[in-house]
Chain A
Amino acid sequence: MLSLLALSCPQCSAPLPRAARWRTVHCGYCGATITRGTETVERESFRAAWRRANAPQLTDTGRLLQWRGAHYRVLAPLGHGEHSDVLLAERLGAVPERVTIKLARDAAGDAVLAREAAVLQALQALSVAGAAYFTRRLPQPLGLGVAQGLGDGERQALVLRHPTGFWGSLQEVQQANSPQGIDARHAVWLWRRMLEVLAFVHGAGWTHRAITPAHALVHPRDHGVLLIGWSQAKPDVSGGAIGRDLMASARSVRALLSDGAVPAPLAALLRECSDDAIACERLGAQGIEQALSAASREAFGPSRFVHFDPAPVR
């Protein structure tokens, strides 16, 4: 049966607007403030929870950054580059997120950060085969924008997802294991991980153009490698750029090894790839990876997981 409901002011019985059903209104006749009954769930309690979650704590004074409307608590300074300061920070809010923040120091730094951001965003937007998997193995930008805080005004900031579990670069691995070099079995998976990513990137029409030991971070537990330093990357594979990328990857791995301790098949492949960019271009990343697998099987038998300690105590 149809029931009718009249909305009237409890003080003067004047009619109330329809909005009185769901929000606070003022009676147009007596001016009384009319609030909802207790059965109504008020948004204000949720909004208050949001304000509590996003409020900076007293202990955060002086170590807070604001970026895109959110507050970030600086956890550690990570370094100083040519154009930027690099920080590890955690976003305040209901749930934390750790990020790497690069703060430009000057106008030149602004341009470098903008270039990096554009390259990384383009790589993350790739939709070619394998993109779902390989974009996780590339740096993931959260965005570029102006950050305020730390007492030095506004600075351009590139914010990236913080890559966890990475020990350091191949350069650090090389220095920590000098002069005897690393076990050649580890060189196999390190090179393979680089080649897998390069095969994907080259297949999508991009080249890195700055592969060095310092631009490959090592994840010992996952046997993973994260290629960084993408600011010079281009969507252009002409002019032998692929061959140079691959040759540089071979040289980066070769630098980790002591020549005498490398099995002959692997040594031959490394020598060829690190000296001959044309051969690299002809083979491609996948061709080198297949040759590497064959050389590895010949030298070490079927592949298996071997724990990697990047800086063993000797």
Chain B
Amino acid sequence: MGYGNYSHAAHAAIVADRAAKPGSEVFKQTATHMLMNPQGLKVRESRDNADHPNSLGIVFALDVTGSMGNIPQTLARRELPTFMKLLTDCGVADPQLLFMAIGDATSDQAPLQVGQFESTANLMDQWLTWSYLEGGGGGSGEESYELAFYVMAQHTDMDCWVKRKKRGYLFVTGDELPYPAVSRHQVEGLIGEKLDEDIPIEEVIAAAAETTHLFFLIPDAQRRRRCEPRWRELLGDHVICMDSPDDACAVAAGIVALTEKAVPNLDALAGVMGGTGMAKERVRGVLHALDGYAALLDPTAPRRATPVAGNGARSSWWKRLFG
């Protein structure tokens, strides 16, 4: 997978065509698409090829339960071309996108759907819109996000990692807690392979993180409080709380651009986003969401946090932190 060139114009045209269509005409599936059914899943490959010699695997695992179904809609109607254009404008070469859809394996008919890595506008759009937005979700406050990490660890093979030891990306969107472990019964039922034991989510995250940068995107401040502490235990500063769910693509593109050092810092990223015509308020929201992660990448951040000795004007404000 992953052949063919990306055309922003073609992608923008696809998206523009459906601006006024109701949701059910964009996402037409009424059950899991047979090609996204993970039963018998072996490996999803992101490979280098003549068109894309430096492929970079990027996975969106979208929570498609009731409360989160608007993000796939926003991607399909407006934002996916923005994501690709931002990556292109930042100079990130050869991204290959795979879409997963995540629900609740204890209560939904389609808790896990898996597409393929693609490079062209048509195919990316195809897998996104083949996703079945079941809407369900359980009442337990948990969704089966751990399955996304399991698929990433066990069923993807990316040339960016295999050939260049450059990790791919997994962006999970959601507003609920994960289940504490990957259930071997659920994996056997959904994928058809046997696990010798349930795998605690900490371990499946550690395994996925060896080849992939993992991020959990929380759509807005309102929905962060219930789930953010637990996700921070699991994913630390890779938990990104956005100001608005509409920012998901811009935030993800910003993360890739910063991590790949395609842009040196947030100010440069703001310049690129401004150049694409994004409103200033929105750019500010994206930068706000990325602040903590950008500091993590900045090798000088710990040094700047250190008090400047012997300078009265810059005496340590840390001394007084919280007390």
Contact = CB atoms under 8 A, between A and B. Distances in A.
B262 interface: no
Contact of B207 (A46, A83, A131, A162): A46
A268 interface: no
Nearest to B270: A221
Contacts of B51: none
Interface residues of B, number: 62
Interface string A9-25: 00000000000011110
Interface in B185-226: 187, 193-200, 202-207, 209-210, 214, 221-225
A133 B209 CA distance: 31
A91 B197 CA distance: 28
Interface in A231-264: 231
Contact of A102 (B280, B292, B312, B321): B321
Given A41-B196, A230-B322, A49 B207 contact: yes
Interface stretch (B8-16, B77-85, B106-114, B298-306): B298-306
B44 interface: no
Interface stretch (A71-79, A183-191, A275-283): A71-79
B100 to A, nearest CB: 18
A52 B209 CA distance: 11
Contacts of B210: 49, 52-53, 94
Contacts of A297: none
A114 B3 CA distance: 58
B167 to A, nearest CB: 11
Contact of B295 (A40, A95, A164): A164
A24 B196 CA distance: 9
B321 A86 contact: yes
Given A78-B305, A78-B318, A214-B320, A136 B196 contact: no
A136 B221 contact: yes
Contacts of B199: 43, 46
Contacts of A131: 225
Contact of A40 (B194, B305, B312, B318): B194
Interface in A47-103: 47, 49-50, 52-54, 75-84, 86, 88, 91, 93-98, 100, 102
A222 B292 contact: no
Interface stretch (A148-156, A165-173, A288-296): A165-173
B73 to A, nearest CB: 23
Interface string B285-323: 001100110111000011101110000111111111111
Contacts of A88: 302, 305-306
A49 B175 CA distance: 27
A23 B205 contact: no
A135 interface: yes
B153 interface: yes
A294 to B, nearest CB: 23
A120 B292 CA distance: 20
Contacts of B238: 95
A229 B323 contact: yes
Interface of A: 21-24, 36, 39-43, 45-47, 49-50, 52-54, 75-84, 86, 88, 91, 93-98, 100, 102, 112-113, 116, 120, 131-133, 135-136, 139, 142, 158, 160-162, 164-165, 168-169, 171-172, 175-176, 214-215, 217, 221-222, 228-231, 305, 311
9 contacts: A78-B321, A79-B316, A94-B209, A96-B296, A116-B323, A132-B223, A135-B225, A139-B321, A171-B317
Interface of B: 153-154, 184, 187, 193-200, 202-207, 209-210, 214, 221-225, 229, 232, 234-238, 241, 266, 280, 284, 287-288, 291-292, 294-296, 301-303, 305-307, 312-323
The 7 A-B residue pairs with the shortest CB-CB distance in the complex, in nearest-first order: A97-B236, A78-B318, A94-B209, A79-B318, A79-B316, A49-B207, A50-B206
